[in-house]
Structure 1
Amino acid sequence: MLAAALGGGLASLASAHAAEGMWTLDNLPRTALQQQYGFAPDQAWVDHAMQASVRLAGGCSGSFVSPDGLVLTNAHCVVGCVQGLSSAQRDLQNDGFVARTRGEELQCPAEELNVLREITDVTGRIAGATDGRSGQAFIEARNAEKGRIESECVGDAAATTRCDVVELYNGGRQHLYRYHRYSDVRMVFTPEYDIGFFGGDPDNFNFPRYNLDAALLRAYENGEPAQVANHFRLEPAGAEPGELVMVTGHPGRTQRQLTVAQLETVRDATLINTLLWLAERRAMLGEYGRRDPEAARQAQSDLTFTDNSYKVVRGQLQALLDPAVFAGKREEQARLRARADAAPWDAVAAVQPLARELAVPYMLLEQGRGFDSRLFSIARTLLRAGDERAKPSDARLPEYQDAGQGRLRQTLMSSAPLYPEFEIAKLTWSLTKLRELLGTDDPVVGQVLGARSPAQVAKALVEGTRLADVAERERLWAGGAAAVSASDDPLLRLARAIDAPARAVRARQESEVAAVESRAAQQIAKARFDTLGTTVYPDATFTLRLSYGDVAGWQEGGREIPPFTEIGGLYARATGAKPYALTPRWLEAEGTVDKTTRFNFVSTNDIIGGNSGSPVINRDARVVGLAFDGNIHSLGGNFWYDPRLNRTVSVHSAAIVEALKSVYAADTLVEELLAE
């Protein structure tokens, strides 16, 4: 069954499973929707859905739910904003927050919302710029042309426009996505941590669930709530079992179209190294949080996301350790390869030994996991921004080109608080891992540590830096490379010391591995297009997609898993001890809240990380739920979709309304959400 779900040959790919697929909105499976559900969305429906859907630039999804810029997303998607607004004296993350008037809404330190306005095919321009090139020349030509396209798109509207050139079908298509950008985003509502994450890690990626993983933001322009032409309306009745539901959101990354050789590298190098790093980071954060309540608060969100990531990566690794997965992938690849030149698959396989060799140094140096500190990230950004901004935009590293300057600067200048002891703890641990994984005699390790211990180095760096001061960051940003070079800040000196080796490992990975894979992927994509055209969907790329399915439970272990839970189940599940402890608000509301209200539900929609906060809508484009998770079987969704077991987990629209009304007394927000 699994092999059939994975491949089953090209015929099965051409007629995707009932709910499989993360479809771009300019290539929806209209015929399948009509045949399976009697639903054929017209262009007006698609345009409305596109412009009512929202991307949180930090890695989540959302949607406009009122004409005054109100945005519905997950509580776990706004943790960065909430923590940035919190302190030891005002703990919004654990106490929750409700703005009862517009004047009480709090500006997030570094949140950005993007709304897709236009998609343009720029495949020809990229192909023309890279034709006949290979290796580093290919990478530089591709990045330069992407930068030119993005800069032309942004023009002089950087404050309100974001443009991204996106690779689809592993480089087989290149599309330009133009977004409207909102950089003034304010917190309106978030529940207490213990109800937004009720059940904690034991319930994570499981069902039944009882989470109010919902939050409200508001987009502002020129100091006033943004007036939006397209928004979804909330449908408290929700959807019934078997009813068509669609998710419009921004899935992060899938790897369903990788070759078998690439998947072996993912399994044997990428995932195992990441899993070990996350496991040890989880232990370090837990130990730090046990110092005292304030330390626990500081580490709370990092620990939550590390727990979540560990579970995801472990599930992905388990999926790739299943022989049936590779059997299905090999069968699929063999069928396609038999209809095309085998050279691109051989080329990809040939560079995988180097990819595995570079995996650890790339993770530690270029990805920065050997320097796990927000302060270090600030230092590296200032250093590279100074160096890169001195070059023409199209000659820079992609993340420093002109088109992305607005978001880069906004993140760098975030006023979110920094905690020195927490920074020291993370940096001490990660420097220890750097020495362990690269070896004491490695030149980078020697340069970083010298004759001192990781703890001594971390303490000196954090206590000696001035980068916690936003004004100092502003000064260095404005002064560029000269100001950064003249600074004696110890973290800037560290960033400078490791920049050359980090850039070197990046250059090798890009020119000797990624360039070969990208070239081959274009050839493989052409073979796929020659056979199937665009009747298959591209891998996820954190761009707007639509997935369709229906409300449905599943069978497992001889029992039926029903699709809905009710609020009453929350009280039945509560034990009074974390992670099943109810907050005072919810305990006080037990006598007034309607316990028969549907709380969470599952559907067959095909989603992945990045879809968090996506609206679940019906055929009338009304919100019936809010996607926040998948079940345990969905963790293999990075590589395939299994229609028997993969499920999306969502907050029911009725639960959002009932909670706001009966628990949080947020009647004004309820009125705004339900206004016709």
Structure 2
Amino acid sequence: MNTLRALGVRARAAVLLATLSLSAGAAGIARGEEGMWLPNKPPMDLLKKHGFAPTPQWLEHQQKSAVRFNNGGSGSFVSADGLVMTNHHVGSEMIAQLSAPGKDLLATGFLARTRAEELKCPELELNVLWSIEDVTERVTAAAAGKPVAEANVARRTEMARIEKEQEDATGLDCQVVTLYQGGAYHLYRFKRFTDVRLVFAPDEQMASFGGDVDNFEFPRHCLDVSFFRVYEDGQPYKPEHHLAWSKNGSKEGDLALVFGHPGRTNRLFTADHMAFQRDVALPYSLDRSARREIELQTFTTRSEEFNRIGKDDLHGVANQRKSRTGELQALLNPALFEARRAYDQRLHDRLNAPDASMCPWDRIAVAQDTHREIFYQRSAIGALVGGGLAGAAHTIYQLSAELPKPSTERLREFRDTALPSLYLGLYSDAPIYPELEADRLASALTNFARIYGGDHPMVLRALAGQSPVERAAALIRGSRLMKIDERKRLVEGGASAVASSDDALIRFVADFDQEYRSLRKRFEDEVQAIETAAYAEIAKVKFEAEGDSVYPDATFTLRMSFGPIVGYSEGGKSVPAYTTMGGVFQRSTDRGAEKPFGLDPRWSERKGTLNLSTPYNFVSTCDIIGGNSGSPTVNSAGELIGIIFDGNIQSLIARYAYDDTVARAVSVDSRGIIEAMRKIYDAGFLADEIQGSGH
């Protein structure tokens, strides 16, 4: 689907040309709504054009009210007793883990009426950003004068050293974040929480009303929210900062601000780097998602129980397939590349490089050629040893090799500061379903054989004379890793315990670890290292040309975006900024109440109690991407007016460029949340808690 389908061909090209110039931060051009801005470097001049000048105290309050869900989403503290709000689809993994045969909490929803009834999540970690420090000079100095590959190792080593020093000094979770693809390095210090309990979630029918049909569309009618509570030392956490719930909500034209954790954008990529995404990475990801979606559709129809244990995976992969489809369509528009090449050339013309062979754009192009040589194999083997129970086996195997090394010399995910989060997942008591694990592994084996070729020696070893389905089932049956005690025993026993283990999955991943490491090293030395050094040079040119107008690509760290609440025009028709609660009943009727447009019985029974004109979902021009799900939408007073849960189909260009012509961020309205909690879900006591005054 064309991401700017409401415009004519020439108009689309013009918009994309302007869009890319803006998203690249072209000098002399500013669009107030564009940008995923660092919380310590807000665009004050742009905000003032909207009549708003946030104080340092206002910004700190938003920063320390925002929460990162380490499973890939965002949230915020919304009460003085540690209550956190996020999306239902962010919380669905935990909700599924807390379910059991005959107790499908995704289907029925959940409400804890007392603190004692709140359900502890087995492997959820939340982070709150506490402070930021620029450590660029120290990281870059460690790599100065070294060959490219050695410089990359030196940077990683210094980053690990900084993290360890700061964690020991502060007791906070410390991470050095790479910005501008290597142009800057910031130390982020987080408060880390692992005692997190489910408090309330509506049924999935109403949380994701419209399902895949309405996904990435607008108008929308979803109650995509869930609530968790953070505990510390066995008691509800008392956050220093939490958001006040707006008493009056919002209206069209109001400025909306979003504080969340956008996952990844590629707006600073060169044209050649974007071409790699268009021609290699995205088509592969789309193909893999589509195949996996079909496999999971088959799996979930085998029985009611298989549907319960597999539907969360199915929803996730279906969302990825639709997202990748939109992103690929955006990159297939020649206007996007015309604008990017023109922008690259403008920067290149400012570069003082006497030797053309030293041009960073050319070096990035060469790196993409190398990446093409290894991408498919690296992706296939990564999927083979990187997911589910097989992924746990590979983590255990790698720990046995990495832990004996000094922390600064290990693979980055095994450094000392990363181990608490790693162990939280590895030792989780979340349920493991052998049938689903076998299905995942069979899919990965099939993909591995497809990429390497059925006669490749590694494929023959992987299959051991069986079909992918047979081999996967045998490997899962032959593993004891579903038991937490066995996982701990192997990790604590170290290399000798792992080497002597006869566990089928341990022996399986051991056979492929050398290939995995070889491909990883080649990527890090011949692709990543070259890109990092080259983008650092490009970043210097950008900073000289554009100063503070440049924001870095998203890195799943806290960012601020903003823009007005405003509708748009599509296909000659006006699309209003808001939907109402009455609209969900009309949408259900229009679609014959067939799945996914059926109503939970409580909604039908209690329709008469609702104020059907209550705003339910709304759109704004806020600049968001995946990872922003669950981000609080606030007004200039800092009050919560909604929660981000999606973008429309036109917004899928956002990974590579920004457009506010028709692209929109979609939020659940705070007023709709309260109306549903009080009148549908008997959660008035919880509504009372969150409607208390903010700190």
What code does the residue aligned with 1:164 have? Q
Change (3 A) 1:551 1:430: same
* Structure 1 residue 138, shift from structure 2 partner: 2.0
Q: Which residue of 1 aligns with 2:98?
A: 85
Aligned pair count reads 671
More off after superposition, 73-82 vs 351-360: 351-360
Is it true that 1:100 corresponds to 2:105 in the alignment? no
- Cα distance between partner residues in 2 of 1:371 and 1:559: 49
2:542–2:550 contact (8 Å) kept in structure 1: no
What code does the residue aligned with 1:141 have? A
Is it true that 1:138 corresponds to 2:151 in the alignment? yes
State the secondary structure of the residue aligned to 1:611.
Answer: coil
* Structure 1 residue 601, shift from structure 2 partner: 0.3
Deviations, residues 646-667 of structure 1 (Å, cap 9, x unaligned):
1000000001111110011112
Q: Which residue of 1 aligns with 2:666?
A: 649
Alignment of 1:145-544 (within 5 A): 145-155=158-168, 161-340=172-351, 341=353, 343-365=359-381, 368-370=382-384, 373-544=387-558
- Cα distance between partner residues in 2 of 1:334 and 1:431: 44
More off after superposition, 488-497 vs 433-442: 433-442
Q: Which residue of 2 aligns with 1:663?
A: 680
* Structure 1 residue 641, shift from structure 2 partner: 0.4
Identity score, percent: 42
State the secondary structure of the residue aligned to 1:369.
Answer: helix
What code does the residue aligned with 2:463 have? L
- Cα distance between partner residues in 2 of 1:509 and 1:277: 21
Change (3 A) 1:11 1:534: closer
Q: Which residue of 1 aligns with 2:12?
A: none
Q: Which residue of 2 aligns with 1:59?
A: 72
Alignment of 1:557-596 (within 5 A): 557-574=571-588, 575-596=592-613
* Structure 1 residue 421, shift from structure 2 partner: 1.4
- Aligned with 1:74 (options 87, 95, 99): 87
What code does the residue aligned with 1:25 have? P
State the secondary structure of the residue aligned to 1:186.
Answer: strand
More off after superposition, 636-645 vs 137-146: 137-146
Is it true that 1:552 corresponds to 2:569 in the alignment? no
RMSD of aligned residue pairs (Cα, Å): 1.4
Deviations, residues 280-333 of structure 1 (Å, cap 9, x unaligned):
000000011111111111110101010100111111111110011111111111
* Structure 1 residue 480, shift from structure 2 partner: 2.1
TM-score w.r.t. structure 2 length? 0.95
Q: Which residue of 1 aligns with 2:18?
A: 4
State the secondary structure of the residue aligned to 1:616.
Answer: strand
2:180–2:539 contact (8 Å) kept in structure 1: yes
Is it true that 1:602 corresponds to 2:616 in the alignment? no
State the secondary structure of the residue aligned to 2:127.
Answer: strand
State the secondary structure of the residue aligned to 2:192.
Answer: strand
Deviation >3 Å, runs of 4+: 8-15, 370-373
* Structure 1 residue 346, shift from structure 2 partner: 0.9
- Cα distance between partner residues in 2 of 1:254 and 1:522: 17
* Structure 1 residue 356, shift from structure 2 partner: 1.1
What code does the residue aligned with 2:332 have? L
1:9–1:332 contact (8 Å) kept in structure 2: no
1:372–1:430 contact (8 Å) kept in structure 2: no
1:17–1:643 contact (8 Å) kept in structure 2: no
1:134–1:516 contact (8 Å) kept in structure 2: no
More off after superposition, 530-539 vs 508-517: 530-539
State the secondary structure of the residue aligned to 2:174.
Answer: strand
Change (3 A) 1:370 1:236: farther
Deviations, residues 163-206 of structure 1 (Å, cap 9, x unaligned):
11111111111000000001111101111111111100010000
- Cα distance between partner residues in 1 of 2:492 and 2:601: 48
- Cα distance between partner residues in 1 of 2:146 and 2:119: 50
* Structure 1 residue 134, shift from structure 2 partner: 2.8
What code does the residue aligned with 1:427 have? L
Is it true that 1:116 corresponds to 2:132 in the alignment? no
1:76–1:213 contact (8 Å) kept in structure 2: yes
- Cα distance between partner residues in 1 of 2:37 and 2:555: 11
State the secondary structure of the residue aligned to 1:7.
Answer: helix
State the secondary structure of the residue aligned to 1:54.
Answer: strand
- Cα distance between partner residues in 2 of 1:178 and 1:10: 28
* Structure 1 residue 451, shift from structure 2 partner: 2.1
Change (3 A) 1:126 1:372: closer
- Cα distance between partner residues in 2 of 1:184 and 1:267: 41
1:616–1:626 contact (8 Å) kept in structure 2: yes
1:236–1:653 contact (8 Å) kept in structure 2: no
1:628–1:650 contact (8 Å) kept in structure 2: yes
State the secondary structure of the residue aligned to 2:549.
Answer: coil
State the secondary structure of the residue aligned to 2:526.
Answer: helix
2:386–2:394 contact (8 Å) kept in structure 1: no
More off after superposition, 80-89 vs 448-457: 448-457
More off after superposition, 591-600 vs 11-20: 11-20
More off after superposition, 308-317 vs 348-357: 348-357
Q: Which residue of 2 aligns with 1:615?
A: 632
* Structure 1 residue 441, shift from structure 2 partner: 2.6
Change (3 A) 1:481 1:13: farther
Unaligned residue ranges in structure 1 (runs of 5+): none
State the secondary structure of the residue aligned to 2:493.
Answer: helix
What code does the residue aligned with 2:629 have? S
* Structure 1 residue 139, shift from structure 2 partner: 2.4
* Structure 1 residue 232, shift from structure 2 partner: 0.4
State the secondary structure of the residue aligned to 2:133.
Answer: strand
* Structure 1 residue 373, shift from structure 2 partner: 4.6
Deviations, residues 504-554 of structure 1 (Å, cap 9, x unaligned):
000001101110011000000011111112221111111110001010011
- Cα distance between partner residues in 1 of 2:434 and 2:406: 37
